Amino acid sequence: MFIVRFKEESIERKFAKQYAEKSLLQLRFGIVLAIVLCASFAFLDSIVTGPLKLSLWQIRFFFMIPCLILAFILTFFKFSKSYLQFIGTFTVMVCAAGALLMLALLNPPWLFLYPQALILVLILNYTFLRLKFCYATVNGIIIIALFELVGLRINPLPSHILLNDTFFLVSAAIVGMVVAYFIENLERKNFLSSLLLKQMAETDELTGVMNRNSLFKALNFELRNIMKFGGVLTFCMLDLDNFKEVNDFFGHLRGDDLLKKFGRILSANFRATDLIGRLGGDEFGIVLLVLSEPQRIIEAFRKAKEEFFDVQDNLEEKVTFSVGCIIVNSSDPIEDELFYYSLADIALSTSKKRKDSLCIIGSDKQILYFNII
């Protein structure tokens, strides 16, 4: 499977974030390497180019190295993680511009020795800086096009030397493109595998909703959010009424099938922003981040109940469910997730006494709303 970009934008954003985090240290190393090489080749200038060395040193020490140091410093700012590909591209283009400026100034025979520097730039572009395939490819094309401009128009090279240098640059670019493509493709495959493993670890195998541990982690995260930024959330616990009778009379396979259908119905009847999980057995939990008005909550559960009835074939006595909810408001002192779990459990116990009902309580344990679903 060859992947250049994920079709789902949310997955692409997650990959970009992870790729940036993994690329940061290597990008810094690549920039430092470019600075060291740029400075060390100044020694070669003094041996090879004679009187032109001062002009080349000005390009190295007053243009290239200051720009590369700037790129290195930028990687330490918080915002840089969103722009690492641009910082890497800037690094490549500074190195390429420096090499091309030198080619524009040099005369034969020294002119014939310096195009090889662009091969080093291409190696930097396709490997060390961890640029994505599309960025590295565009950079490579621009570098070769600028070399042709310099070699044909600005400081013409003999045709046989220009042809030879072009052949090697294009060959290096093609090899680099293949390497960059396979590196990114492997990164994307590994990302998908890790994403799948994470989903498996966080998902209840039977019903496809979140498992108990991941739901409690999500609840804890949302509680911290409303503590910092304000807001309201509702945590509900659901328990199927008479579910034991289904297992006893129809078998556990029938019971498991009913749980699967119930999980799908809950997922379909609540918003994408709401979090749904199985707490164990026939008990489910929902963190409602948008629905906080009692009437809107009860309407959502009534619709879920109607659909749940429709899928219960061959059951003379339909399985219903009871709901207990706790409304958490940022104006109240915020406790941990286990505290609200215990309050929702109290509300659920109250609703179970009448079955097929919903009970909503506040953080003071007072009943705010009670009704038959």
Q: What residues contact 283, with CB distance under 8 A and at least 6 apart?
A: 237, 238, 239
Q: What residues contact 320, with CB distance under 8 A and at least 6 apart?
A: 240, 241, 242, 305, 355, 356, 373
Kindly indicate the confidence band of residue 211, based on its pLDDT and cuts at 50, 70 and 90. very high
Is 181 a residue whose pLDDT tops 80?
A: yes
Euclidean distance between CA atoms 34 and 40, whole angstroms: 10
Euclidean distance between CA atoms 98 and 120, whole angstroms: 12
- SS3 for 272-283, per residue? CCCEEEEEECCE
**What average pLDDT score do residues 292-305 get?**
81
User: What six digits make up the tokens of 48?
Assistant: 């090879």
Measuring CA to CA, which residue among 126, 131, 120 is closest to residue 88? 131
**What average pLDDT score do residues 269-290 get?**
88
What are the angstrom distances between the C-alpha of 316 and each of 246, 249, 342, 345? 11, 12, 34, 29
- The per-residue pLDDT for 242 is 82
Euclidean distance between CA atoms 203 and 208, whole angstroms: 6
Kindly indicate the confidence band of residue 315, based on its pLDDT and cuts at 50, 70 and 90. low
DSSP characters over 131-164: --HHHHHHHHHHHHHHHHHIIIIISPPPHHHHHH
- The per-residue pLDDT for 93 is 98
Is 306 a residue whose pLDDT tops 80?
A: yes
Measuring CA to CA, which residue among 230, 235, 200, 240 is closest to residue 216? 235
Kindly indicate the confidence band of residue 111, based on its pLDDT and cuts at 50, 70 and 90. confident
- The per-residue pLDDT for 3 is 62
Among the ranges given (89-103, 106-120, 338-352, 353-367), the one the predictor scored with the smallest mean pLDDT: 353-367
212-372 falls under which CATH superfamily?
Reverse transcriptase/Diguanylate cyclase domain (3.30.70.270)
Is 65 a residue whose pLDDT tops 90?
A: yes
Among the ranges given (45-49, 84-88, 94-98, 331-335), the one the predictor scored with the smallest mean pLDDT: 331-335
Residue spans per domain, the chain: 9-200, 212-372
Average pLDDT, rounded, for the chain = 89
Is the bond into 109 cis (omega within 30 degrees of 0)?
Answer: yes
pTM of the model: 0.70
**What average pLDDT score do residues 22-44 get?**
94
Measured from the Cβ of residue 280, the count of other Cβ atoms closer than 10 Å reads: 11
